[in-house]
Structure 1
């Protein structure tokens, strides 16, 4: 699933392409996308101008000039494709927005799990979220408060977007490695020192990923990972073997040597 760095990179590209432009046409090309954005709602977008594009964790909001909002979520495999209206659409284009100057953006999603929804003025475009991983409000105190009653292990706890918004399976594993925290420790057991290390580690891995854009599926991006996808390889820090376990149905990678309980 695209996480904060991937979504932020997509938001920056989308913002440059659409802010200030007026929608000439909007339509969906898949049944799942049409359930989220019905044809009559898509048709009513004609003539609306995009006045801003923002990110909330892994969620995206396209602000319209009438105060309403388009909420976009990539889910597992979504992404934006930006091109000209007269160019062929990419495979798996699910929602297509064409603008008055000939720019066209398409939400591309092979699994058709992502989508776009419309929200009237005053409606919250995204579900309740914790502080963004790069926001100043996300600090050790906020993390400990969010984890205080969590009975689960720290790794799956970090995937709950109400704890911290933007962190997913890959960067949670990477941050825990940087912080030298075993992913199996109880979330509620994190003391001030480990919470400080973990917050700093989350910020570090997110910022590093933003400076070196590229999807984690790319071979080059995988080469930058310390533990994710490296089961059986030696740890780059201590030389011990990288292990893989399953937590809450998701793969967790960690070092059996320097991430001890």
Structure 2
């Protein structure tokens, strides 16, 4: 496998992982070879990079029984290479299986050996399922970041993801606070990170530019490159690229977590 920077980004469904991942990839694209691997059954990570939804590995294998690199690898904004693992229809089969199948195919096609400078995995935060642990368990990703807001369920998921990272002895590089605009949000997230032994590596403010960009199937980096929001993504991309401060997190148990959250009520 190549020696570039291999990043896995986890978080609760709907917390904005795909937005973070696609804008990070776009930030790196001017001077880096970037590969984005969507490991979410919704298969929407790369839509704003390519400008449309791309066929998923599972869908292609269902139709063709085999696949070549040109079937699964699509070029997006700034030359970012994009792959989507896909998943089964809702309510049918194991969603994590798509990740397992996808990673094996990418290995067989030697896509991961093409020396990208940065590989970013966008992973659904259900670490209970073995499939979603694949980027960490199989050593595809060297470092992990968790996206959360200051909301209870987002932080609850982040704490659970931390348990998975600890079990797999993964390297947690920090927490990305993707703000929803709630009271004392950054303070809540900063205290959470302190409790589990890491840090906030970036704060992304809530912005209408995100939705405006996504309606056009573009990243903020492409549609509003001069905006303050784009600058936030650029700053985060540099911080992650330069980061060498990693920990094995020490997540809270359920009672500790609830006690922590009640402090902010």
Common fold, TM-score beyond 0.5?
Answer: no
Task: Give the TM-score normalised by the residue count of structure 1.
Answer: 0.31
Tell me which of the two structures has the higher relative contact order, counting C-alpha pairs closer than 8 angstroms and 6 or more residues apart: 2
Q: Which has the higher helix share?
A: 2
**What's the TM-score once normalised by structure 2's chain length?**
0.30
Larger Rg: 1
